């Protein structure tokens, strides 16, 4: 660190460090305002039924995975993606999506896949989860210019 000593003990730094940082003093944040917290009953976004379409990049999620584990790992990656996006532990993969992922064999998994994630009410009364996510395949010709879109529930 290059510094020049001026009269009065002040230090000016060439590298743009502040004077108090050069002396070793650390700054802390000011305490927040202590006021009455506003209570509001907002409906949780995770409790509503919703359907969205996503493009999942499997190529980056399967990098470094052994050949004989690529297709099973792709399904696990899609399950994890759906769990993170929809906030449900119960994720069900549709048969057509499974067939698409395995269509080129165990090691040649498609680089990308377009999926529709729909969060639904669980009809099973014995289940601990109120909602589950169904992951279905959306066939597309190209992935260019595709973004995440909300789909109207027609069911």
Q: Extract the tokens encoding 90.
A: 């119960």
What percentage of the chain has pLDDT greater than the value 90? 61
pTM above 0.75, yes or no: no
**Spatial distance between the Cα atoms of 48 and 120, rounded to a whole number of angstroms:** 8
pLDDT of residue 47: 75
48-151, superfamily in CATH?
Answer: Ribosomal protein L31 (3.10.440.10)
Domains of the chain, residue spans: 48-151
| Tens of pLDDT, residues 42-100 | 556 677 899 999 999 999 999 999 999 999 999 999 999 999 999 999 999 999 999 99
pLDDT of residue 20: 60
- Which pairs from 7-14 meet CB under 8 Å and 24+ separation? none
pLDDT of residue 152: 85
């Amino acid at each position: 660190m290059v510094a020049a000593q001026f009269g009065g003990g002040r230090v000016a730094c060439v590298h743009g460090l502040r004077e108090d940082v050069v002396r070793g003093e650390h700054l802390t944040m000011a305490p927040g305002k202590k006021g009455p917290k506003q209570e509001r009953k907002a409906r949780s976004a995770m409790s509503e039924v919703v359907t969205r379409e996503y493009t999942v990049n499997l190529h980056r999620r399967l990098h470094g995975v052994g050949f004989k584990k690529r297709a099973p790992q792709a399904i696990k990656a899609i399950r994890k993606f759906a769990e993170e996006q929809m906030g449900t532990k119960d994720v069900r993969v549709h048969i057509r999506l499974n067939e698409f992922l395995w269509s080129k064999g165990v090691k040649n998994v498609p680089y990308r896949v377009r999926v529709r994630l729909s969060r639904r009410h669980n009809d099973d009364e014995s289940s601990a989860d109120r909602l589950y996510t169904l992951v279905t395949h959306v066939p597309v010709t190209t992935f260019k210019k595709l973004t995440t879109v909300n789909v109207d529930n027609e069911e």
